[in-house]
Amino acid sequence: MSLGDKYDVLQAVFGFDGFRMGQEAIVDRLLAGTNSLAVMPTGAGKSLTYQVPALVMGGLSLVVSPLVALMQDQVAALRLAGVNAASINSAQSREENVRIWRSVAAGEVPILYLAPERLMTERMITALSNIGLSLIAIDEAHCISQWGASFRPEYDALSRLRETFPGTPIAAVTATADEPTRKDIVAKIFGGQAEVYVAGFDRPNIRLNVQPKQRPRDQLLAFLKDHEGQSGIVYTLSRKNSEAYAAFLSDNGYNARAYHAGLTPDQRADTQTAFMTEPDLIVCATIAFGMGIDKADVRFVFHADLPGSLDAYYQEIGRAGRDGAAAVAHMVFGAQDINMRHRFIDQEFADEERCRREHARLGALIAYCEAPECRRQTLLAYFGEPSDVCGNCDLCLDTSEKIDGTALATTFLNAVGATGNRFGATYVIEFLLGKATDKHSANRHDTDPCFGSGSAQSKSFWQSLSRQMVGGGLLERDVSGFGGLSVTAKGQAVLQGQNRFEYREIAPPPERASRTERRTDTQASVADVDSGLLQALKAKRTELARERSVPPYVIFSDKTLIDMAHRQPTNAEEFLDLHGVGAKKAEQFSAIFLAVLANNR
């Protein structure tokens, strides 16, 4: 039974006097029976665009949602508003689900929430067909394109809905979808026939910062000094990292918890409840956290690891500042993050076209990180939205004058050309510094006249300059390959003296304490480290000891392995700083143990 017209429902059920920008047009389309895709920023009121027409139409409306927590939150909110909404899901007992279905069949439930796995079974499809549906809404619709069959096959199977329920209007909503994703959703869900509404993507209250990754834990602590007592999210790449960061912050006096898909449902629910109620809680999480979490006063989102794409980044930072007050999105990133993300794509996607598209998405994120000008312009341009400089990102707020770097850029470009326009930044920088590796020797690049031509500058300087050159369009990274750099037409113009290149001042890396001071400050106990990682390191030590017919402690002491597991170095220089590691041992074993650390992150 209908609850009245759209304005009656909006006021009586939801307590609003009017629609927010964009909502009413989508509601009208659905009431007219028109399939619609709505792309609206987090916090713009997407759910209202299908809940209002569902209640106006009467009968049974179906909402397809990817997460149990998201369904439960929306059902709870509707019930508080007096709507007898329901969800059948895996978190409930069979008896409860059966009871709810009986209410649905009796016509007592106007809005039913289901996960795609529960919906796309012959039994459920047949049962719903017998009842009839007034409206179908697919929440977080980007999942059908960006995750699709490789993630949850039933999401891909939602394309059958338009054939199974002909004449039933379908709504698809999401907070993030670039042009290729929008086309993909329209093709799969709607068979190419749908109206598309794209709201403005700008969230001007969120300050955008990106920082080269050096010591991410120390960088996080430095960032949090300006956010004492505030609630936020720290996004990490893996479950292990989320646990490690939560423990690290707790040890440093912060109210922090981990959240990832490996926790029990009760543990996840407890953390979600705490996040909603505790004003200073920091959740260290994988991407499993945030979808459907409607907390208005999240003051920051900190990316300790690189997200998978600019789409994912936009959605994750959108969980900050939903109350409209100032918030910060801060990310640290480095070359290792980029390489790891490329490997993930190659391992996950067998389809060549899909793989190419995901590499391109990652490339767009890298370009954002390395942008020499306003970050918000780069971010919004990705979604097809032109904008002026924002004045609220680290690049806009950087008042330092740009420096003429034409000569330095020419040196770097010549080095890229001399090495064949196919190697990554690390290889080119080693070439510039005159640090020959086996690869340089094998390629005879160590005999090139340009070898060592950049030795007057530091490694960190060249790393930063190369990022600005990529962001400035002088260099192009092969995003579908192994990250090799090549000189672009714009770079050729610099080489030929037709263009200048200016760069932002590059600050020297922070002074490092002496090895003795660092080792004293970072001594850890067994209780401080991941036991699985420590066992993996010990197993490798035992293997090496057997090969050399020596006791394990001759390779490294337990104290060294504990320090290794605690600090988790990512390169040979950091490895040399570990307790009990001298130059010779670092030379022999750093690559071996760094590989163990990388494989267990």
CATH code, domain with 46: 3.40.50.300
Alpha helices by DSSP H, listed for 335-475, are 335-348, 352-369, 375-382, 394-397, 406-418, 425-433, 438-442, 459-471
Q: How far apart are CA 133 and CA 168, in angstroms?
A: 7
* Helix, strand, coil % in the chain, rounded to nearest 5: 50, 10, 40
Give the CATH number for residue 442.
1.10.10.10
Please say if the pLDDT value at position 519 is more than 60: no
Residues 372-402 have pLDDT tens digits of 778 998 888 888 788 888 999 999 998 777 8
Q: How far apart are CA 601 and CA 599, in angstroms?
A: 6
Q: How far apart are CA 562 and CA 566, in angstroms?
A: 6
Residues 331 and 474 in one domain: no
- The reported pLDDT for the residue numbered 521 is 43
- Whether 470 contacts 424, CB under 8 Å: no
Q: How far apart are CA 460 and CA 486, in angstroms?
A: 20
* Domain finish residue from 438, 472, 503: 503
**3-class DSSP state of 88:** strand
Residues 428-467 have pLDDT tens digits of 999 999 998 888 989 999 999 999 999 999 998 998 888 7
Buried b / exposed e over 62-81, threshold 16 CB at 10 Å, is bbbbbbbbbbbbbbeebeee
Identify the H or E element spanning 4. Answer: none
Compute the mean pLDDT over every residue in the chain, rounded to the nearest whole number.
84
Residues 114 and 188 in one domain: yes
What are the residues whose beta carbons fall under 8 Å from the beta carbon of 7, sequence distance 6 or more? none
Sign of CA dihedral 473, 475, 478, 479: negative
Q: Would residue 569 count as lying in a domain?
A: yes
Confidence of residue 167 (pLDDT cuts 50, 70, 90): confident
Q: Would residue 556 count as lying in a domain?
A: yes
- The reported pLDDT for the residue numbered 217 is 92
Residues 389 and 452 in one domain: no
Residues 98-155 have pLDDT tens digits of 999 999 999 999 999 998 888 888 899 999 999 999 999 998 887 776 544 344 556 6
Residues 526-537 have pLDDT tens digits of 666 787 888 889
Please say if the pLDDT value at position 345 is more than 90: no
Q: Cα(first)–Cα(last) distance of the chain, in Å?
A: 54
Q: Per this entry, what is the length of the chain?
A: 601
* Domain finish residue from 375, 397, 419: 397
- The reported pLDDT for the residue numbered 370 is 79
Q: How far apart are CA 393 and CA 309, in angstroms?
A: 19
Q: Would residue 38 count as lying in a domain?
A: yes
Quick one: tokens of 64? 């397809």
- The reported pLDDT for the residue numbered 401 is 75
Q: What is the mean pLDDT of residues 307-329?
A: 88
- CA-based angle 62:64:67, to the nearest 5? 140
Q: How far apart are CA 519 and CA 575, in angstroms?
A: 12
Q: Would residue 509 count as lying in a domain?
A: no
Residues 392 and 425 in one domain: no
Please say if the pLDDT value at position 1 is more than 60: no
Confidence of residue 55 (pLDDT cuts 50, 70, 90): very high
Residues 255 and 351 in one domain: yes
Q: How far apart are CA 236 and CA 241, in angstroms?
A: 6
Q: What is the mean pLDDT of residues 66-93?
A: 84
- Whether 342 contacts 483, CB under 8 Å: yes
Residues 459-491 have pLDDT tens digits of 989 988 887 888 777 888 775 456 688 999 999
Q: How far apart are CA 67 and CA 287, in angstroms?
A: 12
Residues 228 and 358 in one domain: yes
Beta-strand relationship, 475-477 and 485-487? antiparallel
- The reported pLDDT for the residue numbered 337 is 84
Q: Would residue 133 count as lying in a domain?
A: yes
CB count in 10 Å sphere of residue 108:
12
Q: How far apart are CA 212 and CA 219, in angstroms?
A: 10
Q: Hey, what amino acid is at 61?
A: S
- The reported pLDDT for the residue numbered 516 is 46
Please say if the pLDDT value at position 73 is more than 90: no
Domain range for 102 is 6-198
Q: Hey, what amino acid is at 584?
A: K
Identify the H or E element spanning 66. Answer: none
Confidence of residue 518 (pLDDT cuts 50, 70, 90): very low
Residues 113 and 11 in one domain: yes
Quick one: tokens of 488? 């672009």
Task: Please give the tally of structural domains in the chain.
Answer: 4
Please say if the pLDDT value at position 338 is more than 90: no
Instruction: Look up the pTM and report it.
Output: 0.60
Alpha helices by DSSP H, listed for 292-334, are 310-317
- Whether 4 contacts 83, CB under 8 Å: no
Q: Would residue 1 count as lying in a domain?
A: no
Q: Would residue 416 count as lying in a domain?
A: yes
Q: How far apart are CA 134 and CA 503, in angstroms?
A: 58
Confidence of residue 184 (pLDDT cuts 50, 70, 90): confident
> Can you tell me which residue has the tokens 């709505």?
38
Residues 217 and 315 in one domain: yes
More confident: 153 or 190: 190
Please say if the pLDDT value at position 181 is more than 70: yes
* Domain finish residue from 472, 503, 534: 503
- Whether 534 contacts 541, CB under 8 Å: no
Please say if the pLDDT value at position 300 is more than 70: yes
Q: Count of H helices and E strands in the chain?
A: 30, 17
Q: What is the mean pLDDT of residues 414-422?
A: 93
- Whether 19 contacts 27, CB under 8 Å: yes
User: 382 φ, ψ to 5°?
Assistant: -60, -35
Sign of CA dihedral 371, 375, 379, 385: negative
Q: Would residue 111 count as lying in a domain?
A: yes
Residues 246 and 363 in one domain: yes
Q: How far apart are CA 584 and CA 295, in angstroms?
A: 52
- The reported pLDDT for the residue numbered 415 is 95
Confidence of residue 513 (pLDDT cuts 50, 70, 90): very low
Residues 259 and 288 in one domain: yes
> Can you tell me which residue has the tokens 């978190």?
91
> Can you tell me which residue has the tokens 């007050």?
325
- The reported pLDDT for the residue numbered 522 is 44
Residues 367 and 298 in one domain: yes
Identify the H or E element spanning 564. Answer: helix 558-567
Q: Where are the beta strands (DSSP E) in 140-267?
A: 170-174, 195-198, 206-212, 232-235, 256-259
Residues 100 and 21 in one domain: yes
